[in-house]
Structure 1
Amino acid sequence: MKLPFVLLFALVLPAIRAQIPHWGPCPEPAVQSAFNLKQFMGRWFEIAKLPAQFEKGRCIETNFTLKIDNSIRVVSSEILKGELRKIKGTGIIEDLKNPAKMGISYSYVLPYSPYWILSTDYVNSALVYSCTDILRLFHVDFAWIMSRTRTLPDATVEKAKEIFANNNIDVTRMIASKQQGCEKTL
């Protein structure tokens, strides 16, 4: 019986180190109603985020492409130490009745992680949230403010933070992403 718990702990430990765990299960924020997956596809730039161990560079962006089988090709990139780094993954709609709740995996051996679109206008900005429950005792979460351009007005960023906070998502540690000097991206 100890082995499954040890295995679970080993898989979750990297995420815990990267984030501050919060007591209790993940919040259940409202997601974008009438979400249109096709309109969401394309290039998104990271404007602000909760710090994440797997994102250390600058000029972070993600490109989403709908595939023939209705899965999503996900290509994320960043510039780290002057070098362009890319990672490819797959996204899926886990529940066709609620397409704003996607799952994304960058590995064949790991399960899909939640990638929930809380709000988007499709042409300017999107608010994305991901959370992993650990035995319903605590959770680690990620939140991103994304844009179709490398900048957003401060008022838009502040409104986005309010939306997260109104959904019981702690964004007090949210930091601005660096989107300067981004000649080598996707």
Structure 2
Amino acid sequence: MLVRVMCNVVVPAVLVVLTLLTPPARAMFGIPDFLEFGGCVNATLKPNFDPVKYTGLWFDIESVPNDYQHTKNCVTQNYTWTGKEMIVATRGLTAVGKKVRQGAIMRQSTSSPDPAFMTVFAEGVPEVPYQIVASDYRTYSCVYSCLERFGFRAEFAWVFSRKPTLPDNTIKHCHEVFTAMGVDPTKMVNITQGEECPYYEKIEETLAENEQYLLKILGPYVPTTTTPAPTHLDQSIVEMSEEEKTLQDLKGKMESGFSTLCTDSQQKETNGASSEDQEDDPNSSTHPVTSFPLLPFLLLPFLIY
């Protein structure tokens, strides 16, 4: 009973107070800036989404800042569809310019039959939604993700491109899609891409390879079974053999969902009787997704890569 009162009354009250604090005070208590009052919007998903067409290389153009995401600049995502799930290999630079690699697995959400609604599984954090709200597969993608608890939400949005740049009118289109859903696109910030990034030395070759791959999957014949992402793209961006082995091992260990302190305690209370009976570089590193500080984890977790 005491734990239930803590979960349903005390914790929400504490959260209300903490979210009203100034940014420095919020940081001191481990409250991320993206934690807001309110619930998640009902996202309008891309009709007839085809995960095979979504595979290949994407560049992050804009996103809502996330303190728990290692990659900050020069961020690329490589998607490989296995026929049952999407393997995501992410590369980029930290805020201090250190090379970093991260990985995740996406599967169709159990809460929706729509293939445009996926769930991200990554080591060390709870599962989170990944909703494709608009994409032409060849040039851009607009993605939404949100978690809610105790009347608060952690809301994220991304604009992706098949190239390091994206025309302003295309970015504006994503903003309009988000606005129509009730999501504020002004929360997103630009992600550094281009000449400052490690991949830039071979960018022309990389884009040409990726374009050939897109012609293959977006042509008249589109395979409906396993279609791996291009295997000969610039290794500094796409090839992640070491990481993908790790991801394959991760699949067997992954648990769907997570239990918070509150839900665990409630289950014990209800069922108490039955329960008794990147490259080898000295400056580069590979990181699992960072775990949450205790307080945000109890309320609204995330990540994304």
How many residue pairs get matched? 179
Aligned-partner residue type, residue 99 of structure 1: P
Aligned pair 1:29/2:43, yes or no? yes
**Partner in structure 1 of residue 161 of structure 2:** 147
Aligned pair 1:102/2:118, yes or no? yes
Could you tell me the TM-score, scaled by structure 1's length? 0.85
- Return the alpha-carbon distance in structure 2 between the equivalents of residues 20 and 84 of structure 1: 25
- Gaps of at least 5 residues in structure 2 are 15-25, 200-235, 238-305
SS in 2 for 1:156: helix
Aligned-partner residue type, residue 73 of structure 1: I
* 1:17–1:178 distance in 2 versus 1, CA, 3 Å: farther
**Partner in structure 1 of residue 102 of structure 2:** 87
Which structure dedicates a bigger proportion of its chain to helix? 2
Select the residue among 37, 59, 73 that pairs with 2:87.
Answer: 73
- Give deviations 1:141-181, integer Å, cap 9, x for gaps: 11000001010011111121111011001122211110032
**Partner in structure 2 of residue 61 of structure 1:** 76
SS in 1 for 2:77: strand
Aligned pair 1:130/2:145, yes or no? yes
CA contact (8 A) 2:59 2:160 kept: yes
Instruction: Give the C-alpha shift of residue 20 in structure 1.
Output: 3.0
Instruction: Give the C-alpha shift of residue 32 in structure 1.
Output: 0.3
Which structure dedicates a bigger proportion of its chain to strand? 1
Alignment of 1:1-40 (within 5 A): 1-2=2-3, 5=7, 17-40=31-54
**Partner in structure 2 of residue 167 of structure 1:** 181
Instruction: Give the C-alpha shift of residue 19 in structure 1.
Output: 3.5
SS in 2 for 1:27: coil
- Give deviations 1:96-144, integer Å, cap 9, x for gaps: 730000111221x533200000000000000011000113x12111100
- Return the alpha-carbon distance in structure 2 between the equivalents of residues 44 and 66 of structure 1: 14
- Return the alpha-carbon distance in structure 2 between the equivalents of residues 31 and 159 of structure 1: 15
SS in 2 for 1:17: coil
- Return the alpha-carbon distance in structure 2 between the equivalents of residues 154 and 133 of structure 1: 31
Select the residue among 124, 134, 151 that pairs with 1:119.
Answer: 134
Identity %: 25
CA contact (8 A) 2:71 2:91 kept: no
Aligned-partner residue type, residue 97 of structure 1: P
Instruction: Give the C-alpha shift of residue 94 in structure 1.
Output: 1.5
- Give deviations 1:53-92, integer Å, cap 9, x for gaps: 1155210111111125x12211111112333200111110
* 1:55–1:157 distance in 2 versus 1, CA, 3 Å: farther
- Return the alpha-carbon distance in structure 2 between the equivalents of residues 58 and 24 of structure 1: 29
- Return the alpha-carbon distance in structure 2 between the equivalents of residues 48 and 63 of structure 1: 17
**Runs of 4 or more consecutive aligned structure 1 residues displaced over 2 Å after TM superposition:** 1-7, 16-24, 80-83, 183-186
Aligned-partner residue type, residue 118 of structure 1: V
SS in 2 for 1:151: coil
Q: Give the root-mean-square deviation of aligned CA atoms.
A: 2.6
CA contact (8 A) 1:133 1:139 kept: yes
